[in-house]
C-alpha cells in the first residue's frame, strides 16, 4: 500500500511500466487511502521494484509511506491496472493544479506535433486539477472537461496504460478540446485561436491592459517594462501601492530581473509555480511602478500553455499578471462575470471555454531563513492536506478575518481552502460559502465541530455561530495567537508545552484587548501569557492601522513623550491640531483601543523613520522598513526593550516597554544616522527583546523549545535574527513551513486546538 499524493498523478501507469520493466506479475489499483499493489516475481527484482517505486515516482506524486506485506502466490500471468473504485470515505481526493511539464512544453513548441501551439496541452504529469473539478472521484465527467468529447487520437492516449496521457482527465487537442478567443472591450466582435494569441501580444506590447483567463481565474496583464501601462492598470484597478506580480519567460529571464539564491531558484520551478518574492536586480528593465518602495519583486514562471504561448514571442519580456479583481475582492473566473467586473479595467479579454469551477489565486512564497515559506497558499497547493499530529473528528475551522482561509479536517489531515481574501463584505462571504461547499463535497467531510476565532466582531465567527446552531454542531472559540502557536507546534508534531512567540498584526485577546506581541507558554489545549509588549493606545481604532502616524503618536504618548511638542509632531508627520485632538482622545480614553501588537509597533516606527503617514495595503509600513534595512549587516547593536512587572507564579505577565527603544531611535534620527541603519537597529532590538523574554520564560518553566509564529514571521530579517539568536542561547527553534505563519495559517491552528480540547478538555485548566 502506497500512501500520499498518489492518485490522479499518473501513479498507476508508472507502477505498470515499472512492473513491466522488472518483469513482475500482479496488479495495481486505487484504494480509498492510496494505491494498492500486488507483485509477484524473483526476490531481487521485487527489491529493485520497491527501490525504484520511491526513487522514480512521477513528478506530482508525494509518497508518505509504503507498507509492504508478504502474501501467498496468486500465480498471475501478467500485470494489470485495475479500474478505480470509490469505497467509503476518500482520503486522497483531488490533486492540486500543476504547471505544464517539460514534455508537454516540448510538444507545444514542436511544429511536427499534433498539439503544436495548442493552448490547453496537458498530460498526467501536468495541467489543471482542483480548479476544474466539481466533486470526487477525480474523473472526467466530474470536471469541466465533461462537455468535450475526446477525439479518437486523444481517446487512444487516454486508454493506453503506457501513454503519458493515460487517464489524464483534462486531455484534449485542437480537434476536440477547449479553444481561446479575444474580445475587445469596446465591441463584441472576437477573433479566435492563433489570431487571438497574436493580437493579445500586439495589444500588450502597445501598452494595453488585457484580462487573460487562466487556471484559477482571470489575470489582468500589462507589459511590466512599460511604466505608463503599469500605472494605468493601478489607477483602473484602484490598487495604488501594493506590489504587482510579474511573470517572466523562464529561469534565465528570472535571473535577469532578480538576484536568486539556489533555494529561491528551486522554489520558482516547482510544479506549483508560486509567485516568489526575490531581490530585484539593480538596473533591470522592470518598471518602477511594479513594486514601488521595496527592494523585492514577486516573480513567477508561466504555468499554463497559453502563458507559454505569450512568452514564445521574443518581444514579450515580463508581464504583470495580477489577480483579475477590483482591490481586495475575489478573483473573477467566469467569462460573463469578468466582462462585468473587469469591464472598466481591461481593454480586451482573452477568454477560453474550459470552465473554472474553483476560484484560486496564485500562491505566494518566499525563502525565509533558508527554507521556503508560504505567504499565500492557493493554486498548486490546494487541496493537498497538511498532516496533523493526531486523528481528529470531522471538523471545520473558519479562520480569521483578513486573508481568510478555512480548513476542513478529518483523521490525520487538515485540508485548507484556497486563500479567500478579506471577509469584510458579502462578495467575500459568498466566496467563502461556495468554497466550503466544494471542499465539503470534495472530501466528503460533514463537520461535527466548528472552530472559530474569539473575536466577537469577525464575520467568520458570526457566520460560524449561525451555521453551527442551525445544524446543532459543537462550537469552539480559539484565541488568535494560541491558534498561531499551536499550528506551528502541530506542523512539527509537538504536543507538549512549548514557548510560543506570536508576533502579529491584530488578534483579539482573552482580555478583550488587541494582542500581537506575545510570549506564550502553550500546549495544544491552552496557554498562559508569559510576557507581552506593553499596551499602547491605537488612537481612532481601525484608522490607526491605515494611518501609521496615529500609531506613532500613540506609541510615543505611551512612552511618555510630549506628542504636542513641535519636534515630535514634525517627526511623526502630524499636523498641530491633529496631535492635539489625538492627545485629548488618549487622555480621555475615547476610541483608543489598547494593543500589544508588534505589527503596530513596526507601523509606528515606519511612520517616524520613513515618514509614512498612510498605508495603501496591510503591513506596507513594516515591509518597507524591512526593505530599508536589507543591505545592513545582522550584527548592528539593537535598541533595548525593557521588562517590567510579571509574576509567573501568580500568572501575571511581564510587560515589555518600548520607552528606551524610542529614546535611542529618536536620538539616532537627531544625529542624522542613516535610516537604513536605524531600521536595522530596530529589527535587532525587537529580536533581542523577544529572545530575552524567551530566556526568562525558560528560567521560569524549564522549556527550551520555541515556536515562531504570527504575520511578522514573514519578515525575513526578523525571522532570521530570532532564529540565530535563539539558537545561540541554546533554544530549539521551530518555524512554519507547510502553512502560512500569518492569518492564512490560522485555521490549521484552530483545527489543532479544537480537536485537542475535545480529547483532553481539562489538561491545562486556563483561559482560552
Binding site residues, Zn ion, CB under 5 A: 101, 104, 123, 125-126, 151, 154, 173, 175-176, 504, 507, 743
Q: Which is nearer to Zn ion, 128 or 289 (CB)?
A: 128
- Nearest distance from C-beta of residue 145 to Zn ion, angstroms: 11
Give dist(CA 692, CA 710) in Å, integer.
Answer: 18
- Nearest distance from C-beta of residue 711 to Zn ion, angstroms: 5
Would you tell me how many other CB atoms lie within 10 Å of the CB of residue 493? 10
Q: Which is nearer to Zn ion, 118 or 662 (CB)?
A: 118
Assigned C-alpha cell, 129 = 486539477
- Nearest distance from C-beta of residue 154 to Zn ion, angstroms: 3
Distances 453 to 55, 58, 433, 462 between C-alpha atoms, Å: 43, 40, 17, 10
Q: Which is nearer to Zn ion, 165 or 681 (CB)?
A: 165
CB 230 within 8 A of CB 289: yes
Q: Which is nearer to Zn ion, 447 or 507 (CB)?
A: 507
- Nearest distance from C-beta of residue 127 to Zn ion, angstroms: 6
CB 658 within 8 A of CB 643: no
- Nearest distance from C-beta of residue 431 to Zn ion, angstroms: 20
- Nearest distance from C-beta of residue 152 to Zn ion, angstroms: 8
Q: Which is nearer to Zn ion, 298 or 509 (CB)?
A: 509
- Note if the bond before 335 is cis, omega within 30 degrees: no
Assigned C-alpha cell, 685 = 532590538
Give dist(CA 687, CA 717) in Å, integer.
Answer: 9
Give dist(CA 95, CA 762) in Å, integer.
Answer: 38
- Nearest distance from C-beta of residue 139 to Zn ion, angstroms: 18
- Nearest distance from C-beta of residue 660 to Zn ion, angstroms: 27
Q: Rounded to the nearest 5°, which phi and psi values hold at 220?
A: -105, 125
Would you tell me how many other CB atoms lie within 10 Å of the CB of residue 466? 10
Q: Which is nearer to Zn ion, 101 or 388 (CB)?
A: 101
Q: Which is nearer to Zn ion, 101 or 544 (CB)?
A: 101
- Nearest distance from C-beta of residue 558 to Zn ion, angstroms: 22
Q: Which is nearer to Zn ion, 445 or 598 (CB)?
A: 598
Q: Which is nearer to Zn ion, 175 or 238 (CB)?
A: 175
Tell how far CA 548 is from the center of its chain.
25
> Which residue, 659, 668, 561, 645, is CA-closest to 601?
659
- CB-based contacts of 45, cutoff 8 Å, min separation 6: 22, 23, 24
Give dist(CA 91, CA 76) in Å, integer.
Answer: 29
Q: Which is nearer to Zn ion, 320 or 533 (CB)?
A: 533
CB 61 within 8 A of CB 13: no
Q: Which is nearer to Zn ion, 260 or 502 (CB)?
A: 502
DSSP 8-state assignment for residue 132: G
- Nearest distance from C-beta of residue 324 to Zn ion, angstroms: 25
> Which residue, 324, 317, 359, is CA-closest to 220?
324
- Nearest distance from C-beta of residue 6 to Zn ion, angstroms: 18
Give dist(CA 343, CA 183) in Å, integer.
Answer: 11
CB 521 within 8 A of CB 499: yes
Give dist(CA 628, CA 608) in Å, integer.
Answer: 13
Assigned C-alpha cell, 753 = 486546538
Amino acid at each position: 500500500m502506497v500512501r500520499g499524493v498518489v492518485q490522479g498523478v499518473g501513479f498507476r501507469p508508472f507502477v505498470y511500466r515499472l512492473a513491466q520493466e522488472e518483469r513482475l506479475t500482479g496488479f495495481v489499483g486505487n484504494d480509498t487511502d492510496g494505491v494498492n499493489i500486488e507483485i509477484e516475481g524473483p526476490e531481487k527484482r521485487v527489491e529493485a521494484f520497491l527501490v525504484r517505486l520511491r526513487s522514480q515516482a512521477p513528478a506530482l506524486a508525494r509518497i508518505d509511506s509504503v507498507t509492504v506485506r508478504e502474501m501467498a502466490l496468486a500465480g498471475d500471468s501478467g500485470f494489470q491496472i485495475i479500474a478505480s473504485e470509490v469505497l467509503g470515505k476518500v482520503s486522497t481526493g483531488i490533486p492540486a493544479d500543476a504547471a505544464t511539464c517539460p514534455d508537454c512544453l516540448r510538444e507545444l513548441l514542436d511544429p511536427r506535433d499534433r498539439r503544436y501551439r495548442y493552448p490547453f496541452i496537458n498530460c498526467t504529469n501536468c495541467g489543471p486539477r482542483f480548479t476544474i473539478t466539481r466533486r470526487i472521484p477525480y474523473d472526467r465527467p466530474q470536471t469541466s472537461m465533461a462537455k468535450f468529447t475526446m477525439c479518437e487520437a486523444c481517446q487512444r492516449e487516454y486508454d493506453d496504460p503506457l501513454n503519458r496521457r493515460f487517464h489524464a482527465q483534462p486531455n484534449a487537442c485542437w480537434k476536440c478540446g477547449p479553444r481561446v478567443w479575444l474580445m475587445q472591450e469596446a465591441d463584441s466582435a472576437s477573433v479566435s485561436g492563433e489570431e487571438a494569441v497574436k493580437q493579445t501580444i500586439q495589444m500588450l506590447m502597445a501598452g494595453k491592459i488585457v484580462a487573460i483567463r487562466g487556471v484559477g481565474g482571470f489575470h489582468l496583464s500589462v507589459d511590466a517594462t512599460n511604466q505608463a501601462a503599469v500605472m494605468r492598470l493601478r489607477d483602473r484597478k484602484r490598487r495604488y501601492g501594493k506590489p504587482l506580480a510579474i511573470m517572466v519567460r523562464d529561469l534565465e529571464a528570472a535571473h535577469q530581473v532578480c538576484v536568486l539564491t539556489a533555494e529561491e531558484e528551486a522554489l520558482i520551478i516547482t510544479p506549483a509555480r508560486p509567485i516568489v518574492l526575490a531581490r530585484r536586480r539593480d538596473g533591470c528593465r522592470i518598471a518602477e511602478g511594479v513594486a514601488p518602495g521595496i527592494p523585492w519583486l514577486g516573480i513567477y514562471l508561466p504555468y499554463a500553455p497559453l502563458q507559454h504561448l505569450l512568452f514564445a514571442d521574443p518581444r514579450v519580456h515580463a508581464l504583470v499578471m495580477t489577480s483579475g479583481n477590483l482591490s481586495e475582492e475575489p478573483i473573477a473566473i467566469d467569462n460573463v462575470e469578468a466582462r462585468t467586473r473587469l469591464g472598466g479595467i481591461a481593454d480586451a479579454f482573452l477568454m477560453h471555454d474550459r470552465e473554472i469551477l474553483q476560484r484560486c489565486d496564485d500562491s505566494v512564497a518566499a525563502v525565509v531563513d533558508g527554507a521556503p515559506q508560504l505567504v499565500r497558499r492557493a493554486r498548486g497547493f490546494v487541496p493537498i492536506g497538511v498532516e496533523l499530529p493526531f486523528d481528529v473528528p470531522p471538523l471545520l475551522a473558519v479562520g480569521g478575518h483578513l486573508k481568510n482561509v478555512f480548513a476542513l479536517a478529518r483523521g490525520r489531515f487538515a485540508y485548507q481552502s484556497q486563500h479567500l481574501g478579506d471577509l469584510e463584505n458579502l462578495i467575500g462571504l459568498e466566496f467563502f460559502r461556495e468554497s466550503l461547499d466544494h471542499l465539503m463535497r470534495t472530501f466528503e467531510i460533514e463537520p461535527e465541530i466548528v472552530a472559530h476565532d474569539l473575536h466577537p466582531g469577525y464575520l467568520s465567527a458570526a457566520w460560524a455561530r449561525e451555521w453551527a446552531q442551525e445544524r446543532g454542531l459543537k462550537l469552539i472559540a480559539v484565541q488568535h495567537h494560541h491558534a498561531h502557536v499551536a499550528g506551528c507546534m502541530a506542523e512539527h508534531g509537538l504536543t507538549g508545552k512549548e514557548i510560543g512567540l506570536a508576533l502579529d498584526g491584530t488578534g483579539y485577546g482573552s482580555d478583550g484587548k488587541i494582542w500581537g506581541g506575545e510570549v506564550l507558554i502553550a500546549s495544544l489545549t491552552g496557554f498562559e501569557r508569559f510576557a507581552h509588549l506593553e499596551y499602547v493606545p491605537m488612537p481612532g481604532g481601525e484608522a490607526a492601522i491605515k494611518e501609521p502616524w496615529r500609531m506613532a503618536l500613540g506609541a510615543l504618548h505611551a512612552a511618555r513623550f510630549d506628542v504636542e511638542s513641535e519636534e515630535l509632531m514634525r517627526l511623526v508627520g502630524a499636523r498641530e491640531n491633529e496631535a492635539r485632538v489625538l492627545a485629548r482622545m488618549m487622555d480621555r480614553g475615547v476610541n483608543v483601543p489598547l494593543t500589544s501588537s508588534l505589527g503596530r509597533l513596526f507601523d509606528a516606527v515606519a511612520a517616524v523613520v520613513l515618514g509614512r503617514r498612510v498605508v495603501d495595503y496591510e503591513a506596507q509600513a513594516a515591509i518597507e522598513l524591512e526593505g530599508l534595512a536589507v543591505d545592513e549587516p545582522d550584527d548592528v547593536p539593537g535598541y533595548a526593550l525593557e521588562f517590567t512587572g510579571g509574576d509567573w507564579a501568580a500568572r501575571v505577565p511581564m510587560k515589555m516597554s518600548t520607552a528606551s527603544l524610542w529614546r535611542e531611535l529618536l536620538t539616532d534620527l537627531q544625529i542624522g544616522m542613516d535610516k537604513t541603519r536605524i531600521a536595522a537597529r530596530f529589527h535587532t532590538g525587537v529580536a533581542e527583546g523577544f529572545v530575552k523574554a524567551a530566556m526568562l520564560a525558560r528560567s521560569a518553566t524549564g522549556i527550551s523549545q520555541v515556536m515562531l509564529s504570527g504575520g511578522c514571521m514573514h519578515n525575513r530579517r526578523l525571522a532570521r535574527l530570532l532564529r540565530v539568536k535563539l539558537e545561540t542561547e541554546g533554544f530549539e527553534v521551530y518555524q512554519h513551513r507547510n502553512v502560512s505563519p500569518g492569518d492564512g495559517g490560522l485555521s490549521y491552528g484552530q483545527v489543532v486546538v479544537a480537536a485537542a480540547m475535545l480529547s483532553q478538555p481539562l489538561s491545562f485548566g486556563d483561559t482560552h
